[in-house]
Structure 1
Amino acid sequence: MSEEPPEPGELPEAAAAALPPLPPPTAFDAESLDRWFALLDPVRRSVRARGTWRAYAVDLAHFADWCAPTGRSPLPATPGTVTDYLTDHVESLSVATLRRRLAAIAVAHGVAGVPSPTHDERVPLVWRGLRRVHGPARPPRTVGAVEVRELLVLVAPLRDTVLDHRDRALLVMGFAGALRRSELSALDVADVAVAPERLLVTVRAAGSRPARVVELPRGRRVETCPVRSWRAWAGAARLVDGAAFRRTTRGGRSLRPERLGDRGVAEVVKRRALAVGLDPGSLSGHSLRAGFVTAASRAGVPAVSIARQTGHRSAAALAACVREDRPFPTNPAAHVGL
């Protein structure tokens, strides 16, 4: 039960499973499990994105916490333990979350080289029943989009502090490049080439997918110009090499050496939304990417051009980013003579 189909070019799961297993972890808290997954060789880790491994660590820690009071083993786990866990949490967790928990359990057993309880016929049987009963009541959550007008509102209060320069560059470049939060987090200074009228940003894709180069043109407005925003941030932070976006001390008075994580990217969006009166609960790190796709679609940009910027590999995935809360001028129903 994988969380999503593999992208073309990724290492097949069977090939990764053929590699030597890891000894089981000595502790089952999220940090220990994250370190355990990090011990995997690069080939095996390349099957999934870094954020997915971190999510699996959190998921498996939750499963282990549930097992502990009754003395059940989380690894290896029995099919009965897994079905009881599913039944016990189906009212409190979404079907999507439980699906990812199942994937984490299966992957952890594969990493340890022991049979996965999710392959036993009882687990899929219980899973199908629970999903049939509880699935329709919990539709997938769709975050809101940050389009240009919202982006202008977000960056309007930003001034000349190091934190303000970082957040402006992150928001503007994240929108203009339609970048995932993991891609923003992974950017290095060396990935950003500055030209007079544009930035050329090398985006390192997860897994074995090839990197792509995204062009960010000079903007008409100073406050939403990717070129000027990056130059201001790089100058204020005295960036030479290493991570492009870094953490700051509390209050943003000075920089810390650590890379800003993908969760930190989402926190920037939410914090800046709260500061200007937008609902932070409806926005996330994905809102910048969804906003770009929506704005470009609304402007009539061909899908193939949008996908070249975003790196989407399918029309369905690209279409899922579009938020249609406002009428589209290119709606075909307006051109058929009604």
Structure 2
Amino acid sequence: MANLEDDPQGDGGQLAERPSSPHLEALSQKARDYARNARSENTRRAYDADWRQFAAWLRRQGLDPLPPDPQTVGLYLAACVEGSPGRDPLSVASLERRLAGICWRYRQRGAPLDTSERHISTVLAGIRRAHGRPPLQKEAIFADELLAMLATLEMDLRGIRDRAILAIGFAGGLRRSEIVGLDCGPDQTEDGTGWIEIFPAGEDISSASNNDGGAVLQISGKTGWREVEIGRGTRPETCPVALLETWMRLGRISHGPLFRPVARKNGGVSPERLTDKHVARLVQKTALAAGIRGDLTEGERRRAFGGHSLRAGLASSAQIEEAHVQKHLGHASAEMTRRYQRKRDRFRVNLTKAAGL
């Protein structure tokens, strides 16, 4: 019986058959490439890990992955949420993501898994009822806290790069994958997920006059392409655009990935793209160094801050109409934007008084 691990990329078993001509073979390769690009690199990596965990559990139980069996999947979900020696139980959110990864792999093999089947749906509903909790959110970083974080960084090339990452990530309300996915221009790399264009003062794509200029980011995010405008700040040492220009000039970066590793020994800039994990570590390190949320233990503070802290900070700080924040962040709904607003005007609409109580 077929083993789904024979297709580690999950690019579709139906596309793996050898075409009858060179032309069809080229099209088949293109189709596989498009299938891989149907999900972001981070999502594919997570789904691959989800499948490896599921496949390993099946092997331990002496079970075969094909055909997909809803009852077996239901047992696996129960096993995950209960945990085992050496393995912590999964949260409901992690369990749902793992199920999504399993379903995605089965679909790629042309053997879809029906999650509405009772052996899955009722088990999952029971798990949600017994173990469901409100989603844990990263602490938001506000403008004054961001300034304190910037001040903890050195003025070497690495510190200049990290200043630009923090400032651009905050001002753009970007996900960490969106930050490191930026290129210096369009169509410069195969793995880029966006690019940046810098406009000097007085120059604007709309030909308007008397403006300070800034940066325009074209971002391919979860909800499709969006355009993000980042205006210039009042001080060069904290202005996101000025910090970015300094990084590009000193790092001699004009083509390809915008943010790249810097060697510790000689300070040379790598041609490779920085990973999104660097953004999470950077936010955690500088938040701790700046003493933010000093009421928490160091371990709690590390868990409290991450890449999303920048995004949540902008959403919570921006004193403008919610629709503008929603568009800037690329959210499909206003409800999602509100989840990011850690400090918003609560109880402004008071239904208790409106009802006459």
TM-score above 0.5: yes
Corresponding residue to 1:285 among 287, 304, 307: 307
Moved over 6 A (4+): none
Residue 199 (structure 2) pairs with residue 195 (structure 1)? yes
Residue 152 (structure 2) pairs with residue 121 (structure 1)? no
CA distance in 2: counterparts of 1:322 and 1:269, whole angstroms: 18
> Which residue number corresponds to residue 273 of structure 2?
259
> Which residue number corresponds to residue 238 of structure 1?
252
Give the TM-score of the pair, scaled to structure 2.
0.75
CA distance in 2: counterparts of 1:81 and 1:23, whole angstroms: 16
> Which residue number corresponds to residue 220 of structure 2?
205
Larger CA Rg, structure 1 vs 2: 2
> Which residue number corresponds to residue 270 of structure 1?
284
Is the CA contact 1:270–1:284 (under 8 Å) kept in the aligned structure 2?
A: yes
| Paired-residue identity, % | 36
Cα root mean square deviation, aligned: 3.0
CA distance in 1: counterparts of 2:104 and 2:346, whole angstroms: 46
Q: Is the partner of 1:213 in helix, strand or coil?
A: strand
Corresponding residue to 2:75 among 73, 76, 84: 84
Is the CA contact 2:70–2:120 (under 8 Å) kept in the aligned structure 1?
A: yes
CA distance in 2: counterparts of 1:203 and 1:216, whole angstroms: 11
Displacement of 1:114 after TM fit? 1.8
CA distance in 2: counterparts of 1:117 and 1:167, whole angstroms: 45
Quick one: which amino acid aligns to residue 78 of structure 1?
Answer: D
Quick one: which amino acid aligns to residue 159 of structure 1?
Answer: E
Q: Is the partner of 1:179 in helix, strand or coil?
A: coil
Q: Is the partner of 1:228 in helix, strand or coil?
A: helix
Corresponding residue to 2:162 among 164, 167, 180: 167
> Which residue number corresponds to residue 228 of structure 1?
242
> Which residue number corresponds to residue 93 of structure 2?
96
Q: Is the partner of 2:71 in helix, strand or coil?
A: helix
1:1-338 map, 5 Å: 24-26=4-6, 33=8, 35-37=9-11, 41-45=32-36, 47-74=38-65, 76-91=67-82, 92-116=89-113, 118=115, 120-135=117-132, 138-190=133-185, 191-196=195-200, 197-206=212-221, 209=224, 211-249=225-263, 253-278=267-292, 279-296=301-318, 299=319, 301-324=320-343, 328=345, 331=348
> Which residue number corresponds to residue 8 of structure 1?
none
Quick one: which amino acid aligns to residue 246 of structure 2?
Answer: A
Is the CA contact 1:156–1:223 (under 8 Å) kept in the aligned structure 2?
A: no
Task: Give unpaired runs (5+ residues) of structure 2.
Answer: 13-28, 83-88, 186-194, 201-211, 293-300
Quick one: which amino acid aligns to residue 111 of structure 1?
Answer: Q
CA distance in 2: counterparts of 1:158 and 1:216, whole angstroms: 22
Displacement of 1:49 after TM fit? 3.2
Quick one: which amino acid aligns to residue 131 of structure 2?
Answer: H
Is the CA contact 1:265–1:285 (under 8 Å) kept in the aligned structure 2?
A: yes
1:172-194 CA-partner distances (Å, limit 9, x unpaired): 01111111112112110112222
